[in-house]
Amino acid sequence: MNQPASNTTSTSERGELGKVLVIIPTYNEAENIRPIVQRLRDSVPAADILIADDNSPDGTGVIADELAASDDHVHVLHRAAKEGLGATYVAGFSWGLERGYGVLVEHDADGSHQPEQLPSMLSALRDADMVKGSRWVKGGSVVNWPWHRKLLSQGGSLWSRTLLGLPIKDVTGGFTAFRADTLRGIGLSGIESAGYAFQVDLARRAVEQGYTVVEVPIEFIERERGDSKMNGNIVGEAMLLTTRWGVAKRTHQVKDWLGFATANAGKLAGEVGDKVGPEVHKYAAQAGKVAGEVTEKTRDVAEDVSEKVVAEAQRLTHEVTAYASEAADKWGPEVEKYAAQASKAVAELAERVQQEAGKAAEAARSAIKRSDDTGSLPK
């Protein structure tokens, strides 16, 4: 069952999908690239494939050239060096948009994303702007994953949803189909994440700008050949960037609310001054001054919260990574012990964020109350 995460655009306002481009980022995927390309060609024969290779030393780029030479549907984008998953996808998106493709798809080379499930995602895209293949909605699943990978994926999605207020179950998933207009609308030039936080960044941008995001259940299979690119640094980057985005969003919301209150307080004071006479102007000035002090105080509180939350995120991120790494090395009952510890650390950080955000909101409310008490006009 397809599950919509947001819905602000009617089906009638969307055009036909257009030509499909499946982008496969590669680095040392010589063992995997031939079979995954063949499976894609069998599953979506009309689609084109772009292999974006980051100068793989194992010869992946050479194999990609051979595939392209024998099949007009296969193309190759050779990149100078490995710069991270996000940078590779942005380059692939730009390549496809420049050539007029209507749909662009993110797809792993290692077989964890199954090409046979892509047709159902493309079908869902007819009524959406962005479709994510989801492991964590009803009907979704993972195969051959150790405890620490499940912990990191589910914990990362929960963390991102909580901080950013996203209605997406599998925020960190990388099997995603976009309409070309969606990618143009969210703005690729401002993407700052290089690793797996890239997936969270795209999702939050799409939701914030009102695009319809739908999740389609998929079966995710752990790679059988080659080495995983996941490591502690990637996890750390994702958690820290998500924390920064979340704090910035909450801070912006508080400032918007306070700015509205400040503007209306000044306006009301001015109207009263006009009606009552010159005597009351001094009170209007006092009200404006207090409103300014409230704005400044809230800004200080918000910045203080940001520093505290990021500091906590850094500390607890290291704890989570360490616990998960230890869990991966122990395949007996010890795994559950470490997984529970890591889960507790993530929960602790989420609770800290909520506490600090609550303090900021309470400080803003107190400041407003003080302005009412100090700057109110005499009866």
Q: Would you kindly state where each structural domain of the chain is located, as residue ranges?
A: 3-227, 242-375
Residue 243 makes CB contacts below 8 A (sequence gap 6+) with 163, 309, 310, 313, 353
**What is the tens place of the pLDDT at every residue in 57-71?**
999 999 999 999 999
Using CA atoms, how far residue 109 sits from 42, 60, 161, 278, 312, in Å, is 15, 11, 27, 75, 35
Residue 162: pLDDT band (50, 70, 90) is: confident
Domain 3-227: assigned CATH number: 3.90.550.10
pTM, entire model: 0.65
Nearest to 91 by CA among 50, 137, 61: 50
Percentage of the chain lying above the pLDDT 90 cut: 41
Residue 279 contacts residue 242 (beta carbons within 8 Å):
no
To the nearest 10°, the Cα dihedral for 169, 244, 233, 224?
A: 20
Closest-CA residue to 149 (of 313, 25, 328): 328
Predicted pLDDT at 24: 98
| CA–CA distance, 54 with 51 (Å, rounded to integer) | 10
Cβ–Cβ < 8 Å for 249, 201: no
Please say whether the beta carbons of 374 and 286 come within 8 A: yes
Neighbours of 190 (CB within 10 A): 8
**Could you tell me which residues come within 8 angstroms of residue 300 by beta carbon, excluding any fewer than 6 positions away?**
none
pLDDT digits (tens, 9 = 90+) for 77-122: 999 999 888 999 999 999 999 999 999 999 999 999 999 999 999 9
Instruction: Give the separation between CA 287 and CA 265, rounded to whole angstroms.
Output: 7
pLDDT at 214: 97
What is the overall mean pLDDT for the chain?
A: 75
CA atoms within 13 A on the CB side of 80: 0
